[in-house]
Structure 1
Amino acid sequence: MIIACLHTADSNVAVFEAAARELGLAAGVLRHAVRPDLLEAAERAGGLTDDMAGETAAALTALAGRRRRRAPHLFDARAEYRDRA
């Protein structure tokens, strides 16, 4: 099992690793990427755009070791977030 963690701050890697150890997860289960540019782009745009959602989905699927171009559940989450705002 691999758990993909996409962070916007380097400091979150240590936080997630500590939590994984406390939960007894095996070393190497978490796979991390740090992409502060995604948060910065969303802040500049005033929210999540379709392009950003696609880039985020691609980053997560690549991190998880999959080759899919998109993760549809992320687009669904974006629509749900937009409906709540």
Structure 2
Amino acid sequence: MQCTSFPDDLVGLQADWLRTYRELARRPAAAGTTPLRRRLIALSCAISAHPYWSRPARAAGGAAELRRAARARAWARAA
């Protein structure tokens, strides 16, 4: 596993994405999920357009590492 350092704002965007996704998964479909779905789309766009990804070497496999970093940050805050 490679050790990658991500910018704080990028990890924050991914953490927001994970929180929004969990909230969407908990909410019944009839409860009006459109705002959450729109937020996921906006966050996905912000994550994929972040300047961090401008170097090709960072794009390969970086998304999985970013999710791990965001989950680690969430666990650290919960502890």
Normalising by the smaller structure, the TM-score range is 0.3 to 0.5
Which is strand-richer, 1 or 2? 1
TM norm structure 2: 0.34
Q: Identify the structure with bigger relative contact order (alpha carbons < 8 Å, sequence gap 6+).
A: 2
